[in-house]
Amino acid sequence: MPNTFGKIFAVTTWGESHGIAVGAVVDGCPPRLALAAAEIQSELDRRRPGQSDIVTPRKEADSVEILSGVFEGLTTGAPISLMVRNADQRPGAYDEMRDKFRPSHADYTYQVKYGIRDHRGGGRSSARETIGRVAAGVIAKKLLAGVGEGGVEIRAYLTQVHDILMPVEALAEFPTLAAVEATAVRCPHLETAAKMIERIKAVRAQGDSVGGVIECRIRGVPPGLGEPVFDRLEADLAKAMLSLPATKGFEIGSGFAGAGSRGSEHNDIFETRDGRVRTVTNRSGGTQGGISNGEEIVFRVAFKPTATILQLQATVDVQGVATELMGRGRHDPCVVPRAVPIVEAMAALVLADHWMRHHAQTRAFAM
Amino acid sequence: MPNTFGKIFAVTTWGESHGIAVGAVVDGCPPRLALAAAEIQSELDRRRPGQSDIVTPRKEADSVEILSGVFEGLTTGAPISLMVRNADQRPGAYDEMRDKFRPSHADYTYQVKYGIRDHRGGGRSSARETIGRVAAGVIAKKLLAGVGEGGVEIRAYLTQVHDILMPVEALAEFPTLAAVEATAVRCPHLETAAKMIERIKAVRAQGDSVGGVIECRIRGVPPGLGEPVFDRLEADLAKAMLSLPATKGFEIGSGFAGAGSRGSEHNDIFETRDGRVRTVTNRSGGTQGGISNGEEIVFRVAFKPTATILQLQATVDVQGVATELMGRGRHDPCVVPRAVPIVEAMAALVLADHWMRHHAQTRAFAM
Amino acid sequence: MPNTFGKIFAVTTWGESHGIAVGAVVDGCPPRLALAAAEIQSELDRRRPGQSDIVTPRKEADSVEILSGVFEGLTTGAPISLMVRNADQRPGAYDEMRDKFRPSHADYTYQVKYGIRDHRGGGRSSARETIGRVAAGVIAKKLLAGVGEGGVEIRAYLTQVHDILMPVEALAEFPTLAAVEATAVRCPHLETAAKMIERIKAVRAQGDSVGGVIECRIRGVPPGLGEPVFDRLEADLAKAMLSLPATKGFEIGSGFAGAGSRGSEHNDIFETRDGRVRTVTNRSGGTQGGISNGEEIVFRVAFKPTATILQLQATVDVQGVATELMGRGRHDPCVVPRAVPIVEAMAALVLADHWMRHHAQTRAFAM
Amino acid sequence: MPNTFGKIFAVTTWGESHGIAVGAVVDGCPPRLALAAAEIQSELDRRRPGQSDIVTPRKEADSVEILSGVFEGLTTGAPISLMVRNADQRPGAYDEMRDKFRPSHADYTYQVKYGIRDHRGGGRSSARETIGRVAAGVIAKKLLAGVGEGGVEIRAYLTQVHDILMPVEALAEFPTLAAVEATAVRCPHLETAAKMIERIKAVRAQGDSVGGVIECRIRGVPPGLGEPVFDRLEADLAKAMLSLPATKGFEIGSGFAGAGSRGSEHNDIFETRDGRVRTVTNRSGGTQGGISNGEEIVFRVAFKPTATILQLQATVDVQGVATELMGRGRHDPCVVPRAVPIVEAMAALVLADHWMRHHAQTRAFAM
C-alpha cells in the first residue's frame, strides 16, 4: 500500500491536484480524542497557497470536511476520513503538459511506469497530496501533546534558502511557534529571514527558483521510542522526509558534518541531570541505536529548487521528440516555507505511530 | 515487525553479537534461482572482521549455513533460512558493560526501552546483526543481475574518511569492483585511499576513531521503479540506510548541495539519446517523483565515528551514578570500509522488492 | 490497519451508518483499466436496501462518486477514492440505542473497547460499511475478467434460508447470473427460492428473522494462486468471509462433512483431461496445500439470523441496569440475499490480490 | 510475507520436512518474560510423532534450540529464533513422489506454482512446518496467562472422529488439560474417546484414514479484543485455522447450525451477572461485531482425512501421464489428535497479537 504511512497509526492519502478532491483516511486513531474540523483547518492554512507574497498565488480555500470517525466532537476509534475539495481547477492551463515532460518533474517517470498520467498540475505527484498528510498530522500532534509531562512539541523552520544560512548560534533556544510564524519565510532569525525573503523575491523576478533546508527540533519525547533494527526512529523519520516532494537529503544530529569528526569529539557523554540520565552534548540528535534517548530530536531536510521555472527549457515530448517548454502558471519560487507544516506533520505521524508500537510491545503485558 | 525489511521480497534478521548465532529469513524469493552457500560466503567475507590491518582483529569465520528454501541448488519459493554461528564469544570481556552505559552506544536506550539488555558486545545493537542483511543482499543482487539487458549493478565505495575527501572529478566512470576492492579502505581513487588508510592508522594509534561517507552508484535500473507517494524509491533507500548502525545522514543526487542552487541550474533537461528518453545531467540522482528515471541512482550515506574509543570516558552506570569507562576490546577505528557491502546489500534489497512490487501492479494484469 | 484488506491490491473502508458518508480507498490498482461510476453503481444496486419486498425498505440511492485515481475513464495507478453519501439519516430513530445494548449486536463490545460509540444505526458496525467493499470488488472483478482464457467468474447464491435447503443435485451446472438474480432471494433453484421467500415473509410477519447459507463458486482461476503457509487461498477467503457482519462459519470443498469421511472416499484423484492436469472429483474445493489447483473454488458461508427483531427483548443499559428494548425500524428479516454481492466482492478482492502477489514472486524475475 | 503471521506479535516459520531443520522467528515479543527451552519442548512433545500407538511411528526427538532473543532466562524484546533439527530424514523413501503427484496433497499445486518442489515428505507443505507455530504459541500462551485476573486459558480437544461424535451434553464444563490428555485421541469424554481410538485403529488396519473436528474453548479473554472491520477476532481466528494443513472449515459459536435458526432463538440476551455485563446464552461464541464480549470463545475446525493412505491410487506424473501410486511410509491415520496443540498455538498467537494491538490503540495515549 504505497499510499499508506504508519503501522498502527496509519494514514492513507488520495487525490490529484486537479481532480475532484484530495483527502486522507486515518486508521488506528485512539478513541475519545476531541477533534474539530477547525483545528485541522488552521494547520492546513499554514501550508495553503496564497498565504503570503512569496508563495504561489493559486487560490485554494482548502476547506476540510471530516466525513467519519468523529462523533459528537470525539474520535470513536473508527477510521477518520478527511476531504478537501479542489476549488481552483484550471485544467486548460496545463494542456501543454499533456504532451511534454517538464524537466525534473515526475511527468516522465509516471508516464513510463503507468503508461498513463493525469498531467493536470502534476496529478498525483503534486504537492497538493500533502494536504492529507498535514490534516492527519494535526491528529498526531494532538495525541503527542498528551505524552509525558509537558507533551511532545515539534518545531520546524528554515535554516537555509539558496546560499543564505541562518547563523548556527542563532538557535540556542527551542524556537517558539510565534518566532517561526513571524515571517512568511518561517525562519525564526529575523535578520536571516529578511535576507531570505529578499532573495526569494529576486529569484522570482528572474523567473527562477531556489531550494533550502528545514531543521526540525522535537522536545519532550520520552526515551524508548524507535525499534531495532529496521524501524529505527531515524530510519522512519528519514523515510518520512524523503517521501516529501522535492527532498534530496536527510540528516540527524551531527549528520554529514559528523562524518568528518573523531569519536573523541563526537561521543555524547552521559551524566545524571535533574534526576535522570542525560547526555552532555547532543551530537546523536536524540536517538542512539535507533531509539530515542530523551534528548531533543534534531534533524534537517534538504529541498531542491522548485522544478517549475518561468523560463524556456529544452525537453522532449511523449514521443521522445525534442521540443521546448515555457514554464507558466502559479508556482512557488521556493517551496520550503510552505513545507514547514508538512515536515512537522510527518514527524508527528512517525512519533505517534512509534509511541503506540512501543506501548504495545512493552506495556500491554505486565512483566 | 521491526526486524523485517521489505514488503514482497522481505528479510527478517535475528541474533545478538555474543549469542549462539545470527541469521536471517528471506521470504518471497522467486523460485528456481541458483543459490549456493559459497556465493553468500564470499560476500560475508567482504564485511568480516579481521580482513585487513585497518579493521577489528576479532576472529570470526562467519560461515553461513543455508537451512531451508533451497533444493538441489535452486530456490523453491519457500523461505530461505540463513545462519552464521558466533564463534569468537568472549563474554567475560564485556563484564564492565553490564553496569555502565557506553557513550553514544545503544546501551542506555535499550535498557530504558526494554528494562533488560544483553550487554555482551552490544547484543542486538551490534553490527553483527548486519550479517543477515548482507546474506540476504546476495540473493537480491543475483535477482537484479537478471533485470534488463545488462542487469542492475550496485557499487558502493568510500568518498570520505574524517576530513579526507576523494576529489569529485575522480569519478567520471562507474568504478569497477576491482578498483573498490583494491585497497582495504574501499576507495577506488588510489591516492585518496592511501591517505585514508594512513589517517585510520594514525587515529587508531591514538585510541580514537573517525567517521566517513559512502557513495553508492547503481546502474541498469529500468525506469519505473518506486511508488508514489510514501514508498518513493529514495524514501525506501533513505530508510534502508538510516537503519544501519552509525549512520547520520542520507542524500540523493545533488543532496544538501542542491538546496543551495537555483532551479535553472538544477533541473535535469530531457533529451532523446540512444533511442530512449534520458536526462542531460543527473542532479536528480536517478529518480523523479520517487520513481527511477533510468539514469544512474547515486546516493551518499554519512557514518559517524565509531563510538568505542580506547580512551577513558566519563559516563553513568545503570543506577545513574557517575563513573568512568575505559574502552577496550577489538574495534574498528573506522567502520566505514566494512560498511560498503552492507550498503550495497540494503540497496539491493530495496530494488528487488520494488521490482517485484512494480511488476505486481503494472504487469500482473494485461491492460 | 484494521480497516484495510489486501496486501498489494488493498482496500480501506471508512464511514458510519448515519454519518455523512461511507467510502473506500483502493490502493494498488493497475493502471489503464477502464472504470466508470456507472459500473460500480450497478453492483451497489444489488446490495442496496429497498430493492425488493423481502428486504429493508430503508431508502438509500447509494450513489457512488469516484473522487480520484481515474483520468479520462482509465485508472492511473493512483489510489481510487470512492464515496457514497448517506441520504436517509434518521438519527432520532435511534435515541433508545444510545443507552441500551441491543442483543447480539456490537453495541456493548464497541462501548467496552472504545469507551465511546456512535450508536446511530450501529455506527461503524453497520452493514453499510460493506458498500465500500462492494465498490472495490467491482474493480477486482473487472481485473479478474481479464485473467486466463475466459476470465475468472465468481457466482454466489443462497443454498439455505432457515431450514429450507436447496437440493444438492440442483447445482450440477455453474449457475448463471440471470438465474441468481431471477428472484429476490438469489437462490437459482426457483422452487426452493419460492419457499425461501415465503418463509422470509412469514418470519417478518412475526417480527422475527432467519439466517441462511451462501455458496460461492469461482471458475477460471488458474492453478498456482495462494501462498504457503499462512496466506493460503482458503485462509484468506475464510478471513474475508468472517470479516462480514453476521457470519458464523466458513467451509471449503467438502467442509465439515469432509471431517466425517475416509481418505479413500475423500481424495481427489488426478487425471489428464483436455490437455491439463485435473482432478476427477473436487472435494478439495479448488485448492490443495493452500494453492489453487485449477478446479472450481467452492465455499460456503453461514449467516446468523438478523439480530434486530421486532419483538420486546430483555437487555441492560450502559450502566448495566436491566431493561427492555423493543426492536423497531427498517430491517431485513433475512440479510443473506443482500449479502450475495458482498460475498462475491470479498472473493474478488482476495483473488485479485493473490494474483498480483503470485505474479510478483514468480514472474517478476525471469528464471 | 506469506510465511509470517501476526502484526505486532509476529511469527515467521521456515523449513521443510526433510531439510536440515525447521524453525521460527518470533518478533515483537515483550521483554522480561521468563522463557526456557524446556517449556517449549514440552509443548512440542504434544505434537511430536511417535507419542502413541494411533499416530505415525516416525521418530523425531524434535529438540528445540533457542538461538536468540533470550538473555539469562528472560526475553529481551529482540527477535526469538527457534530451531528444531530434522533427525529422521529418509529421503530415499520419497523417490517415487519426485515424479508422481499424490492425490489431495500439495505436490501438484507447488509444482505448478513454483516450477520446482522439494518432494521429500511434502517439503514445505509438510505438517512439520507447524513445529514453529507450536513453539511460538508457547510464548503467546505464557503472555496470555498474565492477562486479566485468572489469565487466558485455551483448551482444544476432539469432538469428532469420522462419524463418531462426542455428545453435546458431555461438555457443560470447561475441560481440564488432564481430561484432554487422558487419552491419545485427546477427546475429554472417555467413552467417546475409546470409540474414536478403536475407529482409528480399524481404519489404519485397512490402510485408510479418517478426518475429524476440533473444538476450542477459550476463557478469561477480556472484552474488547478484535478490531473492526477486517481484523475481527473471528476473522483472524478463521484465517489462523484455515492456514493449518488439512483444514476444511471453521465455525464460531452457533456456526452453520445458527444459519438454520430464528433471531428470537439465537440472540444472546444481556444481563448483569457478578457485577459485569454478561450474556445469558453464548450463541455468539464470545465475539460480537468482531470484538470479544468477555464470554467464552468457542470455535470448531474441520479436518479432512489424511490424504496419504496405504492403498493403490490412480494419479498422474509430472508429465501428466496416468500412473499409479502406492501410499507407504509412516503416516497418521488421523491427524486430528496431534493437531490439538497446533490449534491452541494458533489461537494463542491471534489473541496475543490482538491484545497488543488493542492496547496500542486504546491505552497508549491517556484520554
pLDDT in tens, B241-266: 999 999 999 999 999 999 999 999 99
Facing C12 at nearest CB: one of A2, A27, A69: A27
Cα gap A275→B316, rounded to integer Å: 12
What pLDDT score does D56 carry? Answer: 77
CB B333 within 8 A of CB B54: yes
Give the model confidence (pLDDT) of D293-312 as tens digits. Answer: 999 999 999 999 999 999 99
Kindly report the backbone phi and psi dihedral angles of residue C75, in degrees, each rounded to the nearest multiple of 5, phi listed first: -65, 150
Phi-psi region at D48: left, alpha or beta (left = phi > 0; alpha = psi -120 to 50)? beta
How many residues are listed for chain D in this entry? 367
Label each residue of chain D as H, E or C.
CCCEECCCCEEEEEECCCCCEEEEEEECCCCCCECCHHHHHHHHHHHCCCCCCCCCCCCCCCCEEECCCEECCEECCCCEEEEEECCCCCHHHHHHHHHECCCCCCHHHHHHHHCCCCCHHHHHHCHHHHHHHHHHHHHHHHHHCCCCCCCCEEEEEEEEECCEECCHHHHCCCCCHHHHHCCCCCCCCHHHHHHHHHHHHHHHHCCCCECEEEEEEEECCCCCCCCCCCCCHHHHHHHHHHCCCCEEEEEECCHHHHCCCEHHHHCCCEEEECCEEEECCCCCCCEECCEECCCCEEEEEEECCCCCCCCEEEEEECCCCEEEEECCCCCCCCCHHHHHHHHHHHHHHHHHHHHHHHHHHHHCCCC
Which amino acid, residue B321? V
With a cut of 0.95, is the ipTM above it?
A: yes
Q: What is the pLDDT of residue A56?
A: 77
At B307-329, the pLDDT tens digits run 999 999 999 999 999 999 998 76
State yes or no: pLDDT of A312 exceeds 80.
Answer: yes
Q: Can you give the pLDDT at residue B89? A: 64
End-to-end CA distance of chain A: 35
Do C1 and A3 make contact, defined as CB atoms within 8 angstroms? no
Q: What is the dihedral of CA A202, A203, A207, A208, to 10 degrees?
A: 170
Give me the residue from D30, D364, D366 closest to A365, CB to CB: D30
Residues 6+ apart with CB under 8 A from D29: A361, D9, D69, D75, D77, D79, D80, D139, D143
Looking at the complex, does the CB of residue D230 fall below 8 Å from at least one CB of chain A? no
Kindly determine whether residue C104 and residue D268, on different chains, have CB atoms separated by under 8 Å. Answer: yes
CATH number, domain with residue D330: 3.60.150.10
B349, B5 in Cβ contact below 8 A? yes
Write the residue in B78, B113, B124 that is nearest to D16 by C-beta: B78
pLDDT tens, position by position, D236-294:
999 999 999 999 999 999 999 999 999 999 999 999 999 999 999 999 999 999 999 99
Query: What mean pLDDT do residues B128-152 have?
Result: 95
Which residue in chain D has the smallest CA separation from B4? D27
Mean pLDDT on C165-180: 91
Chain A residues with CB under 8 Å of C80 CB are: 14
DSSP 8-state symbol, A262: B
pLDDT digits (tens, 9 = 90+) for B12-68: 999 999 999 999 999 999 999 999 999 999 999 998 887 888 877 777 788 999 999
Amino acid A75: pLDDT = 98
pLDDT over 70 (residue A130): yes
Residue A232: predicted pLDDT: 98
Q: In sequence order, which residues have a C-beta less than 8 Å from that of residue D66 and are 6 or more positions away?
A: D35, D37, D40, D80, D81, D82
Contact B360 C362 (CB under 8 A): no
Alpha carbon dihedral C283, C287, C290, C292, in 10-degree steps, equals 180
The per-residue pLDDT for B96 is: 85
The mean of the pLDDT values for chain D is 95
Percent of chain A with pLDDT over 70: 98
Taking the C-alpha atoms of residue D69 and residue D341, their distance in angstroms, rounded to an integer, is 24
Chain D residues within an 8 Å CB radius of A356: 360-361, 364-365
Whether the Cβ atoms of residue A159 and residue A187 lie closer than 8 Å to each other: yes
Residues B259, A289: C-beta atoms closer than 8 Å: no
pLDDT tens string C343-366: 999 999 999 999 999 999 999 997
Nearest to A30 among D77, D355, D364 (CB): D364
Q: Which amino acid, B7?
A: K
Are A76 and C118 a contacting pair at CB < 8 A? Answer: yes
Report angle CA D295, D300, D303 to the nearest 5 degrees.
165
Chain C (100-159) residues lying within 8 Å, Cβ to Cβ, of chain A: 110, 113-118, 123-124
Give the DSSP letter of residue A134: H
State the Rg of chain B over Cα: 21
Which cell numbers hold the place of C357? 502477489
**Which three cell numbers, joined as nine digits, stand for A228?**
531495532
- The verdict on A273 touching B (C-beta cutoff 8 Å) is no
Chain A closest-CA separation from residue B70 CA (Å):
26
Among B256, B358, B362, beta carbon nearest to A256: B256
Which pLDDT does position A55 carry in this prediction?
Answer: 77
Average pLDDT over residues D166-174: 86
Distances (CA, A) of A68 to C11, C24, D108: 17, 12, 47
Which pLDDT does position D95 carry in this prediction? 84
Identify whether the C-beta of residue B71 lies closer than 8 Å to the C-beta of residue C355: no
| Total domains present in chain C | 1
Angle, helices C107-114 vs D336-363, to 10°: value is 60
Which amino acid type is present at position A143?
Answer: L
Per-residue pLDDT at B94 exceeds 90: no
| pLDDT band with cut points at 50, 70 and 90 for residue B168 | confident
D34 close to B (CB below 8 A): no
Tell me, what's the pLDDT at D90? 67
Q: Specify the pLDDT at position B301.
A: 98
Q: What angle do CA A34, A40, A44 make, to 5 degrees?
A: 170
Average pLDDT of the segment spanning A133-139: 98
Any chain C CB within 8 A of the CB of A12?
Answer: yes
Structure letter (DSSP) for residue A348: H
pLDDT digit string, tens, across residues C34-92: 999 999 999 999 988 877 888 777 777 889 999 999 999 999 999 999 999 998 666 57
The partner residue sitting opposite D30, judged by closest CB among A29, A146, A367, is: A367
Q: How confident is the model at residue C285 (pLDDT cuts 50, 70, 90)?
A: very high
pLDDT score for A61? 83
Average confidence (pLDDT) over D81-85: 97
- ∠ CA C321-C103-C109, nearest 5°, is 80
Range of the domain at D22: 4-363
Query: What pLDDT score was predicted for residue C171?
Result: 76
Nearest to D193, CA basis, from D159, D154, D169, D148? D159
pLDDT at A89 over 70: no
Whether residue C286 contacts residue D109, with contact meaning beta carbons closer than 8 Å, is answered with no
Model pLDDT, residue C102: 96
D363 in reach of chain A (CB within 8 A): yes
pLDDT at D81 over 90: yes
Residues D55 and D49: their CA atoms lie apart, in Å, by: 6
Separation of alpha carbons C90 and C74, rounded Å:
37
Mutate to test the interface with A, among D361, D362, D363 (most CBs of A within 10 A): D361
Exposed/middle/buried for residue C308 (C-beta within 10 Å: 0-12, 13-18, 19+)? buried
Q: A178, exposed or middle or buried, with CB in 10 Å at 0-12, 13-18, 19+? A: exposed
The reported pTM is: 0.98
pLDDT (tens digit per residue) in C175-191: 999 999 999 999 999 99
* Structure confidence at residue B171 (pLDDT): 76
The tens digit of pLDDT for each residue in A270-296 reads 999 999 999 999 999 999 999 999 999
Tell whether D360 lies on the interface with B, counting CB pairs under 8 A.
no
pLDDT at D343 over 90: yes
Q: Is the pLDDT of residue D366 over 80?
A: no
By the CB < 8 Å criterion, does D77 face chain A? yes
Length of chain C: 367
